[in-house]
Amino acid sequence: MGRIVDMPAVYFTDKDFEEKVLKAKGVVLVDFYADWCGPCKAAAPVIEELSEEYKGKMVVGKVNVDENQQTTGKFGIMSIPTVIVFKDGKEVERMSGFAGKEGYVKLIEKALGEK
């Protein structure tokens, strides 16, 4: 499974999810996806765009549900893509399905706006 190296979104795994997301300060958007999922493929370029646009304000990352079933199960991911926004390690927003860039931006702005 080749991944494009120069993409700004980071990949989280079962091993580092707690450290990089749950113990993180600030806002982290996590895209739960699978390589075989059509809507996930549609969402992927948008996730990459958001990681570039919000660089320095928040972390944008991805979790492959097939490779990281422990984390997927812990957060009750039943359909993909599912995006969860964490703030200081706590889930503050969640969206299942791909609602376009606008839908994700609303989640992000809401999370970033909460002080």
37 is known as an active-site residue: yes
Share of the chain above pLDDT 70, in %: 92
pLDDT band at 99 (very low <50, low <70, confident <90, very high): confident
- Catalytic residue, candidates 37, 47, 58, 84: 37
Neighbours of 92 (CB within 10 A): 14
Domain chopping of the chain, boundaries: 10-113
Whether the Cβ atoms of residue 30 and residue 61 lie closer than 8 Å to each other: yes
Average pLDDT over residues 2-25: 82
- Catalytic residue, candidates 27, 29, 30, 40: 40
Residues 6+ apart with CB under 8 A from 31: 9, 40, 43, 44, 47, 60, 61, 62, 63, 81, 82, 83
Whether the Cβ atoms of residue 50 and residue 108 lie closer than 8 Å to each other: yes
40 is known as an active-site residue: yes
Q: Is the pLDDT of residue 2 over 60?
A: no
Whose CA is closest to 44, among 27, 17, 62? 62
Q: Is the pLDDT of residue 4 over 50?
A: no
- pLDDT higher at 6 or 87: 87
Q: What is the pLDDT of residue 114?
A: 56
Q: Which fold has domain 10-113?
A: Glutaredoxin (3.40.30)
Q: What is the pLDDT of residue 115?
A: 46
Q: How many residues in the chain?
A: 115
Distance CA 65, CA 77 (A): 8
pLDDT digits (tens, 9 = 90+) for 53-91: 999 999 999 999 999 999 999 999 999 999 999 999 999
Handedness of CA 53, 55, 57, 59 (dihedral sign): positive
Q: What is the pLDDT of residue 9?
A: 84
